[in-house]
A and B are shown apart, each in its own frame.
Chain A
Amino acid sequence: MDIVLIGQMAAAAMFGAALYTIIGIAPGTDETAVLAPVTLVLVISGLEPILVLTFFIAAIVAKKLTDSIPVAVAGIPGGVMSAPMVEHAMILKKYGKPDVSIRKMASGSVIGTIISVPLSLLLATALVPLADVIEQYSSQIFFLGAIFLALMTKNRWFAVLSIVPFAFIIQGLRNLYWELDIVPEDTTVFTSFFLGITIGPVILKLFELLNGSIRKSLPRYGTKTIEMRRTKAEKGFPNPFKILDKHETISSAISSVFGVLTFFMSPVGMTIFLGEMVASRIKDPVKRAARAISSMDGLTNAAYLSGTLVPLIAIGYPLSPTALGPGHALFNAPPVYTYEHNLHHILSMNDFVVATVIGSVIAIGLTFFITIKYAQQICAFVFKYIPHEAMLGLFFGLVMMLAYMDAGALNIAGVLLIGLVAGFLHRKGVNYGVQFMTLYAAPWLVGLIF
Chain B
Amino acid sequence: MSAEDKKENIEVWEDLVHIKDLTISLAICSVTSLGGYLIAPDSQQPLIYGLIGAVSGFIISTIIVTPKRNFSYTDEE
Say whether A224 faces chain B, with CB atoms less than 8 Å apart: yes
Judge whether B67 and A387 touch: CB under 8 Å.
Answer: yes
A45 — nearest CB in chain B belongs to which residue?
A: B45
CB contact under 8 A between A220 and B30, given known A388-B68, A401-B53: no
Judge whether A223 and B47 touch: CB under 8 Å.
Answer: no
Say whether B5 faces chain A, with CB atoms less than 8 Å apart: yes
Say whether A405 faces chain B, with CB atoms less than 8 Å apart: yes
Q: Looking at the assembled complex, report how far the CB atom of A230 sits from the nearest CB atom of chain B, in whole angstroms.
A: 5
A225 to B45 Cα, complex, angstroms? 43
Judge whether A226 and B37 touch: CB under 8 Å.
Answer: no
Contact of A389 among B7, B11, B48, B65 (CB under 8 A): B65
Q: Mark interface residues in A164-200 (1 if CB within 8 Å of B CB, else 0).
A: 0000000000000000000000000000000000000
Judge whether A387 and B61 touch: CB under 8 Å.
Answer: yes
Say whether A346 faces chain B, with CB atoms less than 8 Å apart: no
Q: Which residue, of A76, A96, A389, has the highest number of chain B Cβ atoms within 10 A?
A: A389
Contact of B57 among A75, A223, A230, A397 (CB under 8 A): A397
- Size category of the B interface is 35 or more
Q: Looking at the assembled complex, report how far the CB atom of A19 sits from the nearest CB atom of chain B, in whole angstroms.
A: 12
Say whether B39 faces chain A, with CB atoms less than 8 Å apart: no
Residues of chain A with a CB closer than 8 A to B21's CB: 387, 389
Judge whether B33 and A400 touch: CB under 8 Å.
Answer: yes
Q: Looking at the assembled complex, report how far the CB atom of A378 sits from the nearest CB atom of chain B, in whole angstroms.
A: 13
Judge whether A389 and B17 touch: CB under 8 Å.
Answer: yes
Judge whether B69 and A225 touch: CB under 8 Å.
Answer: yes
Judge whether A387 and B54 touch: CB under 8 Å.
Answer: no
Q: Which of A61-94 contact B (CB under 8 A)?
A: 74-76, 86, 90
Judge whether B57 and A383 touch: CB under 8 Å.
Answer: no
Judge whether B10 and A224 touch: CB under 8 Å.
Answer: no
CB contact under 8 A between A392 and B25, given known A230-B73, A386-B62: yes
Q: Mark interface residues in B13-49 (1 if CB within 8 Å of A CB, else 0).
A: 1111111011011101110111011000000011110
Judge whether B25 and A90 touch: CB under 8 Å.
Answer: no
Flag the segment in A201-209, A261-269, A278-286 that touches B: A201-209
CB contact under 8 A between A220 and B22, given known A385-B62, A397-B57, A401-B37: no
Q: Which of A20-46 contact B (CB under 8 A)?
A: 26, 37, 40-41
Judge whether B17 and A388 touch: CB under 8 Å.
Answer: yes
Residues of chain A with a CB closer than 8 A to B61's CB: 387, 389-390, 393-394
Judge whether A397 and B30 touch: CB under 8 Å.
Answer: yes
Residues of chain A with a CB closer than 8 A to B24's CB: 389
Judge whether B15 and A388 touch: CB under 8 Å.
Answer: yes
A223 to B3 Cα, complex, angstroms? 9
A222 to B2 Cα, complex, angstroms? 10
Judge whether B57 and A394 touch: CB under 8 Å.
Answer: yes
A86 — nearest CB in chain B belongs to which residue?
A: B14
CB contact under 8 A between A386 and B67, given known A223-B9, A394-B29, A396-B30: yes
Judge whether B13 and A222 touch: CB under 8 Å.
Answer: no
CB contact under 8 A between A220 and B9, given known A226-B69, A387-B21, A397-B29: yes
A120 to B13 Cα, complex, angstroms? 35
Judge whether B17 and A384 touch: CB under 8 Å.
Answer: no
CB contact under 8 A between A227 and B15, given known A394-B29, A400-B33, A405-B50: no
A205 to B30 Cα, complex, angstroms? 17
Q: Mark interface residues in B57-77 (1 if CB within 8 Å of A CB, else 0).
A: 110011001111111111111
Judge whether A392 and B33 touch: CB under 8 Å.
Answer: no
Say whether A398 faces chain B, with CB atoms less than 8 Å apart: yes
- In the complex, besides A221-B9, A222-B5, 17 extra interface pairs with C-beta distance below 8 angstroms are A205-B13, A221-B16, A223-B70, A224-B70, A225-B72, A226-B69, A231-B77, A386-B62, A387-B17, A388-B67, A389-B22, A390-B29, A393-B30, A394-B55, A396-B30, A397-B30, A404-B37
What are the nearest 5 A-B pairs in CB distance? A397-B29, A393-B25, A393-B29, A397-B33, A75-B14
17 pairs, CB–CB < 8 Å, chain A vs chain B? A37-B47, A41-B47, A41-B48, A90-B14, A215-B19, A224-B69, A383-B67, A384-B67, A387-B61, A388-B15, A389-B21, A389-B25, A390-B62, A393-B26, A396-B29, A398-B54, A400-B30
Q: Which residues of B are interface residues toward A (Cβ below 8 A)?
A: 4-5, 7-19, 21-22, 24-26, 28-30, 32-34, 36-37, 45-48, 50-51, 53-55, 57-58, 61-62, 65-77
